[in-house]
Structure 1
Amino acid sequence: MATTTVTRRRARTRQRLLDAALHTFAEEGFGRTTVEQVCERAGFTRGAFYSNFSSLDELFLALWEERSARMLDEVRAALADLDPDDPEAAVRAAVAAAPVDDAWYRITAEFTAHALRNPGLRRVMAAREAAIRDAVLPVLVAALERLGRRVPDERALGDALVAVHDGTAVQVLTQPDDDAVRARRQALFMNVLDVYSTPEDSA
């Protein structure tokens, strides 16, 4: 029982540090954030921080993993009930499950620049990106199969979808009130799915 209590307390501490980091990174910038600032916001000491994370880099990667897992769950839920007669509805739901978030974009952009200056960290980040892509792709491929389409090259589809998501993010964030920008974003996703998949009967 005591072990369970300690485990739960540790999980709560870790989550509070993650939540505090998200807000601090967004407000201060990743490069200007200190361990002390995260601890102060979470209400903990440096000892509590270092008993959970070895560095701010590790803290960010844990935060990224948490958000990615949540996004994957939301994409799965969005694609669970597909209407073969309305594939655009499925795309709209999947796009909504992976929204462009202003604060998160700023944090990840800053961390990416930081990682590009550190070969070891860059490799870790590339591996995490690949893991996320490989987790999402089977969900999308299965959804396309239920719509009567197959994917000859899953890796190419994944890379193209990431490129569309990242490439349109800045447009959406800099023109938040322009509905045409969001419409074009959705159309691009539809085009990628169309180009990188084929009707089953054409196999």
Structure 2
Amino acid sequence: MPEPTTERVPRRRAETRRRLLDAALPVFAEEGFGRSTVEQICERAGYTRGAFYSNFASLDELFLAMWERRSATMTEAARTAVDQLGNTEPADVRAIVQHLLPAIPVDDAWFRVSAEFTAHALRNPSLLRVLTAREDAIVGALLPLLVDLLARTGRSIPDPAALGQALVALHDGTSAQCLIDPANPLVRQRREDLFVQVITAYTQEN
């Protein structure tokens, strides 16, 4: 028996949206966010402009949907990493960093696109507010996981918001360093060391 039309349409729409999102990142990374067009993304995805505009009002909205999807993927990876520990108590802050850091990858294409979009948002106050809210949301989703792991080592966070801002700045800055000098293992090691130092500085023993 054929699927009811009401079920086929949402499924088809979700597939169209997924393919457009998949196509957008390489286009943005290759062309630059400011130079990319709806037509380029549609061509990469195999759709028409009509398919694009039935899912997204603009390239800005498409990017924010990409951000949302990437944030969800990263949060899920971090949760999985925490779940894998079970009831194990990490030895110290470094053990926590080593366990969680792979869930927050350094990605060349994403870094280029997100850096360009951030610069674009800085020229648009309303868009910047949306971007800031999205960043706050992912920090808010990840911090409880870190709080839980730190509690297992006997540490707490007096000011979670300050630590969240520090970790975002640290991730962005060290990501740039890793991408500029990818063959240097010391850069990755210093990234880990800095995460350990910052988390230690913003937490305290109970």
TM range (shorter): over 0.9
Partner of 1:102: 108
Q: CA deviation at 1:90?
A: 2.6
Match of 2:203 among 184, 197, 200: 197
Match of 2:17 among 11, 14, 17: 14
Partner of 2:180: 174
Partner of 1:126: 132
Q: SS where residue 57 of structure 2 aligns? A: coil
Partner of 1:146: 152
Partner of 1:34: 37
Partner of 1:137: 143
Partner of 2:47: 44
- Cα-Cα RMSD: 1.2
Separation in structure 2 between the aligned mates of residue 198 and residue 140 of structure 1, nearest angstrom: 13
Q: Deviations over 1:29-59 (max 9, x none)?
A: 1011000111111111111100000000000
Contact 2:157–2:204 at 8 Å: present in 1 too? yes
Q: Deviations over 1:4-26 (max 9, x none)?
A: 21111110000000001011111
* Amino acid corresponding to residue 181 of structure 2 in structure 1: Q
Q: CA deviation at 1:87?
A: 4.3
In the comparison of the two structures, how many residue pairs are matched?
200
Contact 1:78–1:90 at 8 Å: present in 2 too? no
Contact 1:92–1:186 at 8 Å: present in 2 too? yes
Contact 1:83–1:90 at 8 Å: present in 2 too? no
Separation in structure 2 between the aligned mates of residue 62 and residue 39 of structure 1, nearest angstrom: 16
Give unpaired runs (5+ residues) of structure 2. none
Separation in structure 1 between the aligned mates of residue 93 and residue 125 of structure 2, nearest angstrom: 41
Separation in structure 1 between the aligned mates of residue 38 and residue 187 of structure 2, nearest angstrom: 38
Q: CA deviation at 1:86?
A: 5.2
Indicate the percent of aligned positions where both proteins have the same amino acid. 61
Q: What is the TM-score when the length of structure 2 is the normalising length?
A: 0.93
Separation in structure 2 between the aligned mates of residue 156 and residue 53 of structure 1, nearest angstrom: 34
Q: Deviations over 1:62-114 (max 9, x none)?
A: 00110010001111122231443254233112111111111110000111111
Runs of 4+ in 1 over 4 A off after TM superposition: none
User: Equivalences for 1:83-94 in 2 at 5 Å?
Assistant: 83-85=89-91, 87-94=93-100
* Amino acid corresponding to residue 194 of structure 1 in structure 2: T
Q: CA deviation at 1:163?
A: 1.2
Partner of 1:64: 67
Partner of 1:160: 166
Q: Quick one: higher RCO (CA 8 Å, sep 6+), 1 or 2?
A: 2
Q: SS where residue 135 of structure 2 aligns? A: helix
Residues 84/92 of structure 1: CA separation in 2 closer, same or farther (3 Å cut): closer
Separation in structure 2 between the aligned mates of residue 128 and residue 137 of structure 1, nearest angstrom: 14
Separation in structure 2 between the aligned mates of residue 22 and residue 166 of structure 1, nearest angstrom: 18
